[in-house]
Chains A and B, each alone.
Chain A
Amino acid sequence: MNWQAVKAIYRFEMSRSFRTLVQSIGAPVLTTSLYFVVFGSAIGSRMTQIGGIPYGAFIVPGLIMLSILTESVGNSSFGIYMPKWAGTIYELLSAPVSTPEILLGYVGAAASKSVMIGLIILATSTFFVPLQIQHPVWMVAFLLLTSVSFSLFGFMLGIWADSWEKLNVVPTLIVTPLTFLGGSFYSIDMLPPVWRTVTLFNPVVYLISGFRWSFYGLADVSLAVSLAFIGGFFLLCLAVISWMIRSGWRLKH
């Protein structure tokens, strides 16, 4: 293993976000606070409790997931698309690094940022609502697994994209809607039966459900299904990316 390379890439990527600290961390914190104000306070005051949980507290896991998904995909796809676009990728391609090192560096950095942002949002939310975390270990496990998986997905997207428009289209048109409709702000039990069935095809439902369970012991789908889903998604992304890097698809001529 070329650990020096992993360290170099990781540090390069992390320094990029610290250079833009306000944007990297300030923006998600502000957005989440706004969600709390709008959904938690304005709407939450008129909502009944969900499964015995006050509405404001109920949406916390969903909000964290919303940020993690967006941040993971955004950071990771940008991290690899930028050098591709600027041409600096030549150095990565000509370096003695293989797939695991590239992924540990880029995806590791993107996932680290997401976890950090997730924890900051978690801390922010304690200013607005009373929180309890029933299964902290599971909570961390879900946080990590989701961050890593969606950072892998973002990396895939960054390699695939050959224009800025393509880079933005998947997060905007697919990831964000799926997250909003995946039960961030409601329990899928609250939906009419037909829509409940439709929703079960949304992969994000399983992530949010499992994550919320780690907080309140309350889930829309079983924990095993949630875990199986996120584990499967992780492996799928890993397999696709390994092929992409090995073959040089959209990276080499």
Chain B
Amino acid sequence: MEPILSIRDLTKTYKGGHQALKSVSLDIRRGEIFALLGPNGAGKTTLIGITCGLVNPTSGTVLADGHDVVHDFRAARATIGLVPQELTTDAFETVWATVCFSRGLFGKQPDPALLERILRNLSLWEKKDSKIATLSGGMKRRVLIAKALSHEPRILFLDEPSAGVDVELRRDMWNVVRDLRDAGVTIILTTHYIEEAEEMADRIGVISRGELILVEEKASLMHKLGRKQLTLHLQDALHAIPQALEGYGLSLSPDGLSLVYSFENEGGRARITALLRQLNESGVAFRDLETSQSSLEEIFVSLVRGAA
């Protein structure tokens, strides 16, 4: 199936000479949730800016649902909704007026029933006649989401949606995102909160210094790069790792009460049985054991370090 968003060799050099994007190519599949991860200044917002029409590209093309975002901007932009990172709202407008404005701006006929549904889903309906200036930061974030959804986009960009957002809103927001995905909307989010990507995304892209260093299914990324750790809590403290166990690269905690075995997914797992047998033979008794898998955050940090 044709990708809903197709980015080819996209480059952006700002006036001061800063190269924010270095020949980035990326295809976003229809209906997926794609998380773009990267440190500050990696080029995430520039990528979104070019796709949405806020930034002029230096070279390269972006097709949104088959429409070039520069030459056929009208058709391209009509498919895209953007929730910006900054809380930029019209302070003196009411919530209702501002969502009606957004819908009109994108060329859609008024549809009060739809707007009511959107506001209700975001717990904004009670505030519809309030001036935006009187709302809290979290509420303003909801207003921005409602504005972006008001014109029924096929592609939704969420630029750092959880920045400064309370738990309740985050839950509401992810419910909305899941509903949207079920309705066939493609969602692209950038985030610092890696647990968010881990929880929500189907695929993950990592961008660093203007280069897309990795694009992978979340599950396979975790599988491929995820290191596992087996921690054994010992009955009696050890002074040193017994000689017989040296080949496993074990580490002993300072108090001598736990042994940690780190392993890559495939080969390492097979050795667990041997390790446990060896322990038994060496007379090391343990009272508990646990395994843990490295989080996406750890994977991400190691990737970005590697690219630097």
Contacts and interface: CB of A to CB of B under 8 A. Distances in A.
Contact of A92 (B89, B103, B105, B109): B105
B53 A8 contact: no
A96 B54 contact: no
A88 B89 contact: yes
Interface in A1-24: 2-5, 7-9, 11-12, 15-16, 19
Interface in B8-65: 14-15, 49, 52-56
A97 interface: yes
Contacts of A86: 88-91
Contact of B105 (A16, A95, A253): A95
B138 interface: no
A83 B104 CA distance: 17
A253 B77 contact: no
A95 B56 contact: no
A35 to B, nearest CB: 31
A248 B56 CA distance: 8
A41 interface: no
A192 interface: no
Interface in B62-87: 73-78, 80, 82, 84, 86
A7 B104 contact: yes
Contacts of A248: 56
Nearest to A9: B105
Contacts of B100: 8
Interface residues of B, number: 36
B74 A2 contact: yes
B218 to A, nearest CB: 28
A7 B102 CA distance: 11
A114 B201 CA distance: 52
Nearest to B94: A15
A87 interface: yes
A91 B147 contact: yes
A93 B101 contact: no
Given A4-B104, A5-B106, A15-B97, A90 B74 contact: no
A5 B104 contact: yes
A252 B92 CA distance: 25
Nearest to B77: A96
Given A4-B109, A95-B105, A253 B55 contact: yes
